[in-house]
Structures are given as C-alpha cells and as structure tokens.
Structure 1
Amino acid sequence: MTDTPTAPTTSTSWRDLTPTPDLGLVVLDMDGTLLRADGSVPDGFWDLLPVMQDRDIVVVPASGRQHATLHDMFGDHGIRTYLAENGTVVVHDDEVVATSPLSDDTVQQCISAVRGTDRRLGLVICTPEVAYVESTDHEFLDEAAKYYHSLEQIDDLTTVDAPVVKVAVFCFGSAEDAAPGLFTGEDAASPEVENNNAVVISGANWIDIMRTDANKGAALRDLQKELGASPADTAVFGDYLNDLEMIGEGDLSFAMANAHPGITAAANYTAPANTEDGVVQVLRRLLGV
C-alpha cells in the first residue's frame, strides 16, 4: 500500500504566489480536485483553458478514470494528453504511448479475493480500451459508469482476454477499512497481491491494484521527459493518496483544502477546496488573469 506521510505539513497558501510566466505543464487530478462535488467541471476552468493553450501550457487530466471517460470530458476542448487509470495508461496527442499491465496471476487473485468475501463490493477489470464488470448490482453499476464510459458487463471476469492495467474495487463502505481484509496485512484473503503489486486507496470507496512501478508520478516523469518539461515549470493538483507520487513531481504542488492529510503533508502549497473551485482560483493567480 502507498505510504502515507504523517509529518506536519509545511505547505504555503496559494495566496502567497505571483504569476508564473514559465509555467509549461498543468496536471490535474479529477475527483476531489478539479471537479465539483456533483462531478462537473467548473465553468471558470473552460474560460482559462484557451488562455493556457495560447501560452503553450500543456493541460493534463490525471485520474483513476479511464482514457475513454477523460476523452469524453475534455477531448472536444482540445486536450490531447492524459494520465489515465492512475498512470497505467499514458496518452499523448491522442495516442496511447505507454501501458503498465498486471500479471495474469494478480488479476485472478484479485477476482478470487473479491468473490470470496462477505463484504459488498464491486470489481472492475480495466484494460486500456474497455473496463469489464460481472456484477449485476445496479448501485455499483451506476457508480462504475461515472468513471468508466467504456464499460462492458460480462458473465465471468476470469475470461477477459486483454492486457489488464488496473483492477479497481468499489467498496460500499470505507476502502481503507476493506483493504486489510482483502489485499493487505497478515489476514488478507490474497496477500500475494500486496507482495507483488501496489494496493492504493484511490478514494473514499475505491481500492486500485496496479504494478508497483505504475503510478501517476512515474507517468508524469515520463511525460515530462517527452515534453522537455521539468518540476520547475510543472503545477500539480491533487487530493487523495493515488496522487501522492505525482505531487512530488511539480515544484508548484497543491493539496486541496479537502485533501487527505498525507497529500497536505507532501504538497508545497495549499489551495481552496474543490467545492470552492480551488483549481480555478489558483490557476488565475499563476496565469495572472
């Protein structure tokens, strides 16, 4: 599982910032960060996007959501670069340039663990193009559809015959409470999963299983190399533990006011909450508009 910093934060308020003319890369987590509580993009962001594009600033949605979902949200607005599936799918100029597939054994162990528990859970098997579910629980399916627009229901997840980049578990309850019984700790149903992979709490109700070398931070480093960018000209916004590695890759790193304490401790700056359009407020300050 991703380590959580516990040291007191030394982050500074966004109000102390001045316009940043060298800004070249803006990387945005979605839920709890850019998006409002109802899942919508703030209107002010659409006003700022052309300003950033005119200045050749690359805007990168970075999310546990799949590429198809992010493209549906932003593709019509000229965004062509994404860190999807928590960094296990990297898209640049609308082309998938890198993926991080799990082993077949890991996928089967995850399926067995979820099937074998008494907890009410939903399981999503994520490939670069399609997400698969076998559950018929309508409440879970409605939740999964928010994040996976390319979603297919099948009878048996063990029959998925495509590279799997992520296994996502939706918990009807706390993900942090559910993870120890499934994948982490001495009493885990499938301890092999944690031994060989990263088990990440990616939201209040979501657990993601990915390769240990796959995360938003690693994907962002690769993208910075591709674009000739550096931490000095990169702004990163996040709120939850799946953003932890990514937060370290931008000198302008922002934890939302609603962020998990681990993200607040890791970020260089604080920002207003997502419910206050915090990303928009900070970007206005950085852009000087």
Structure 2
Amino acid sequence: MDKITRKTSFEQWLSPISNNLFEERVKTHKLNYYTKKLHMNSFLKLLLYGQLHETESLRALSDCVFSEELQKATLLDSISFSQLGRRLNQIPTEFFQTIFLDLVTQIHTKTDFPTRRKMTTPLKIIDSSTLPLNLNNHKWAKFRKTKSGVKLHLRLVFMEKGCSYPDQSVLTNANKHDRSQLEILVDDKECMYVFDRGYLDYERFDHMTDEGYFFVSRLRKNAVVRNIETFSLPEDSSVLSDELVVIGTTQNRTENGFRLIKVLDTKGNQLHLLTNRFDLSADEIAELYKSRWAIELFFVRFVS
C-alpha cells in the first residue's frame, strides 16, 4: 500500500470522531492550556497514525514525524519521544473513554442493533489482557516481585461475517482475577456470553442461570462432574459427547444442571464446554465457542 492510500485511510479513520465532543472534552480537562506545540488535535492524529502503522514505541512515532505526509496532517515538523511521553501522562483516561463510548454508540446505531435482536441472539465475548508497566514508575500497579501491570477486561460484540467491536471495558490492577468482573460485564439477558476458564465461578453460574443470563464457557478437565443424563448426537456431529451434569464437590456443587459438551480443537486437544443453553444443538454450541478467538485476535492487533 503506497503512502497516498495510507494517508487517505488515516483521514477516513479520523472522520467518525466527533469534533464537537472532542473539543468539549479538551476544554473540560484543560488539555490545551499553556500548550505551545503539541496540541490535542495533533497528538490524537499521531496516536492514531501510530496505531494504523503498528508503531512499536513513542520513540519510533517521533521518528515518523519526518514524513512529509504526517507533517501536513499534524502541523508538526518534529517532536521528541520525551514530549510525547509527557503529553500522554497529562491526559486522564476519562478523556479517551468518552471518545471510545461515543464511537461505540455510533456503531450501535449504524448496525441497527435492537432490530438484530429479534432475528438472532447477540453474541458477546469476554476476556482480558495484561499490559506490563515499568515497576519503578508504576509501583501502585505492582503484582509480582519484579513487575507492574494493569489488566484490560474487555467485552466484544461478535456480529455476522466475523465482524466484531468492543462495547465495554474495565481497567484494573493486573492481580485482579478475571471472574471478579463477570458481574460488571454480564448485564444483558438478551445476549449469549462466551468466556474462557479464567471466569469459572460455580456460584456465579448459578446466579446467572437463575437470573436468565445465557453463557458458554470452557471447563477445566479436572473439574468434579456428576452425570445426570447423556444426550444422543447426530451421526454427522463433530461433538464427542453431550451431557446434562452438575459440577463441583458435595461442599461446593452447583444447584442447577448444566450442559457439558466435549469437542476436539484444531490441534486434536479435547475441550470441555459448559453452558446453560439447551435449545441449541451441541454442534451449534461448539461453533459459538469458536467465536471466542475473535477477542484473541483483537488483543493481538490492537492491544499487544
């Protein structure tokens, strides 16, 4: 892709951001006060340019400013990585959060989300990613002897044709367990939630079932399971088994019965999938769980 095409893509990427909202939030947080060179409009363009070009660091981003195309877009002829770092530290996370939520609202409107619910159950995928930080500069985020970090808990809306977009996020210290965020990220009874073993919580699964929330999760292979009933499978099914079970020991056992589906992944490893959805076939449940990879790809592309 040549530079002209990239610049066109860059300008198109900026267009959904509301200028009125952006300026209003800049004024509210006083982000351009006493600023002589790196105003917020230019800084945002630099950040988005860095994301589009997969720039690895602020130092590398500062080198990009030697590009004539970027100079024209940002009205900057040069900028040091230390200036970029100081500017980034001055901006509260609430500023970016407001811009993010406004973009999500636009996506909801353009995809006619309420209408889609009448046709199919919306699928929302939940996962987290740990973002490492320098221990000396971020001692408040310490979670190991030599490391600091924060954890991004994310909910991704999975749509037709493999498209997806984030619609909820929570930022915590890296030592915060994933399952502690289920109560926050599971809030819509008209959705189907997909998450991995890090969110296993038998008591929470019972509450979700009693309250009418649907989910599919991966279960640990060493989980204590008691079979109640085995369901028959079609001859052409790729599923190994489909059972009605209760999980947990006698001291910590679920009150509700759940569906345990065993399948093989692409590498031949056996996966144990737990769900409280009984109106879909076992193969359909397995396909729903496969959609979880969408959030893995999202983290690789936009967070790592």
Give the TM-score range, shorter chain. under 0.3
Whichever of the two has the greater Rg, that structure is 2
The two structures have a TM-score, normalised by structure 2, of 0.27
